Structure 1
Amino acid sequence: MATFFGEVLSVYSRAVEEDDRDDEEEENEEDVEIRRELEEKRKVQMKWCSDEGQAIEGSSDKKRTCSHLIVAVGTNATGFVSAFILNSASWHRVGWLSVWNERSRGSGPSPNPPAPGEPGCVLYQQRDDDSVLICQCSSYVAEDQLFQWTEQLFMCLQKRGLAVTVLSDVPVAEYKTPDYVHGSDVPFLRALSSSAYKGPVTCPFLEQPNIVTGLAAAVLSHCQVHSIPAVLYQNYSDVISADSDTMEAYRHAVSSAKGIKLDPPSADVLQKFTKASDLHGNLYT
């Protein structure tokens, strides 16, 4: 209905049956219940393992002490950790972060990926040295889960004396620069650190207007807010699958870390990881 001055007024009909209103209320209740179930299912949960590898009930309250946390995000970051660090028998699984969303997958670049439904964010420590904790995240973490993920991880760690290194894969197409990026320059690293980080950086800092997004940004932001020394290394590459050259780019950034011994993998070991990634991303298999 319009007034003399052209203002449009909303007019609602009173001819609405009570049955229709009841149906709408029931549908709304169903929607609320569905949303509640989804929210519960999307909660990020932290679990620690016993010596036998089984989940410890109520273990989310456990505080673990370590001096260095390494978080690997992306195919080549997790592939580098698997091939160059975890390839040693001294590393074992100590816990995991359970993540479920519409895009999550229980698989990664390792030659023996976990079965569907198993956690894609796994924590590792050495049997004889617990100073370093490695979080290998091969699952997608949705935007609404990023805060939960970082809170669940860091609330289980003693923050005193803790330093954090984040390794993250980024497509080179997202790198903004006025200069042309030659193919021979790819892959390359760029760094970003928290204010509390005073250690060395093995590559140039990330130039403006480039930004950090996703899980890597959430971890670095958490460290910035809580004054935890942290450095992020973004690996810009022109490949989407596991690649030996892209993995190798992380080597110099991690080699100086205390408690980390890099064992250069053989050609056969590298081939296992790259083949596993190729098969996982092949459209025809």
Structure 2
Amino acid sequence: MAAYFGEVREIPSRAVDDDEEVDVELPTVYFDLPEFSDITQLPSYDTVICATGLAPTVFLESYLISKEHRILGYIKLNPVSTPEAEFLGLDYRRQSHVVGKLCYDEANRTLVCVSEKEVPNESAAEIAQYFVELSGSKTLECLVITSLPISQYKSAKTSELSLPILRQLKTVSEGQVGDIPTLETPNTLSGLGAALLTECEVRGLKACLIAQYYDTIDSDTVSKLEPCLNVERLKKVAKRPVEQGRHNIQQLLRQSKIDRGNMYF
């Protein structure tokens, strides 16, 4: 029988019986908070500043985070096991590893999250919900800085752009945020940053997401995030001089690439 356009036909699989349940192991994300017996014991805050991706993480580490910030804990990932890893004796790689770090600026009641590795989409919405609900603030404000390769940016004028480029998305209740252009359709975002922006939109909170599209990650790429320093909620907590921040970029970026196993810089 022919299947016409718009008609859906079920195709039986030889690999899995229709009545057979398939258990798919998903990676799990959890909070590792050494000083707290429960996540609800985190100190309250009025602002969340979140960086996802290598360049935004190095940016906040260079310009914002200092020894004065209290490290509350870490976001960790339990990776899934695969038959190939078990067969090759590589199952030891299943040990949990750090995805993000949580810092606290007590003077400004600000929670800072840096996540060089992206949180799995399956856990992003739940973590974003935690960030909002645990703040203890009805006027919470959020700023997210994220980065994506330019190949994910949809535009007919990509070849004419000077890379890297910055674009922003914000909630309805958010006001003017600097001179950064708005992200054009049909571009979409995902991950922890997008989940946090969505959570704030649903709750009527002020939030802005700044996305950087890049072709390569180097010190110039990181420093091109400096317009973010003009956003008030980051401006009030980033006290480090710009020149000092730029100086820190080289060292932090190099160390990050070493940690990732990259031999060439």
State the alpha-carbon separation in 1 of the partners of residues 46 and 133 from structure 2: 15
Equivalent residue, structure 1, for 2:202: 225
User: In the aligned structure 2, how far is the partner of 1:193 from the partner of 1:235?
Assistant: 15
Which string of whole-angstrom CA distances, capped at 9 and with x for unpartnered residues, describes residues 156-210 of structure 1?
Answer: 2224121000000011122111224346x11110000011212423300011111
What aligned pairs does 1:149-168 form with structure 2 within 5 A after superposition?
149-168=127-146
Q: Secondary structure at the match of 2:101?
A: strand
Who is 1:200 aligned against? 177
Deviations 1:249-277 (A, max 9, x none): 22222333243224233665322122123
Structural mapping, 1:43-122, within 5 Å: 43-48=28-33, 54-57=34-37, 59-62=38-41, 64-86=43-65, 88-102=66-80, 117-122=96-101
Corresponding residue number in structure 1 for 2:92: none
Q: Secondary structure at the match of 1:69?
A: strand
Q: Secondary structure at the match of 1:231?
A: strand
Which stretch shifts more, 64-73 or 92-101?
92-101
Q: Deviation string for 1:221-263 (max 9, x for gaps)?
A: 1111121211000001111x4x211111222223332432242
Residues 262/139 of structure 1: CA separation in 2 closer, same or farther (3 Å cut): same
Identity percentage over the alignment?
21
Secondary structure (helix, strand or coil) at the match of 2:159 reads coil
Q: Tell me if 1:282 matches 2:262.
A: yes
Distance 2:245 2:225 in 1: 17
SS in 2 for 1:198: coil
Paired residue for 1:247?
222
1:154 aligns to what SS in structure 2? helix
How far does the alpha carbon of each residue in 1:111-138 deviate from its partner, in whole angstroms, 9 at most, with x for none?
Answer: xxxxx73532111123x51422110112
2:7 alignment counterpart: none
* C-alpha distance after superposition, 1:20-77 (max 9, x if no partner): xxxx9xxx79x76xx6xx56xx4433354xxxxx3321x2223532222111000000
User: What does the per-residue CA deviation read over 1:72-96, in whole Å, with 9 as the maximum and x for residues that have no partner?
Assistant: 000000010111111x331220233
How far does residue 148 in structure 1 lie from its aligned partner after superposition? 2.3
TM-score, normalization by structure 1: 0.70
Contact 1:101 1:142 in 2 (8 A): no
Structure 1 residue runs of 5 or longer lacking an equivalent are 1-23, 49-53, 104-115
RMSD: 2.8
Would you say 1:236 and 2:213 are equivalent positions?
yes
Residues 227-236 or 198-207, more deviating: 198-207
Match for 1:150: what amino acid? A
> In structure 1, the residue corresponding to 2:78 is in which secondary structure?
coil
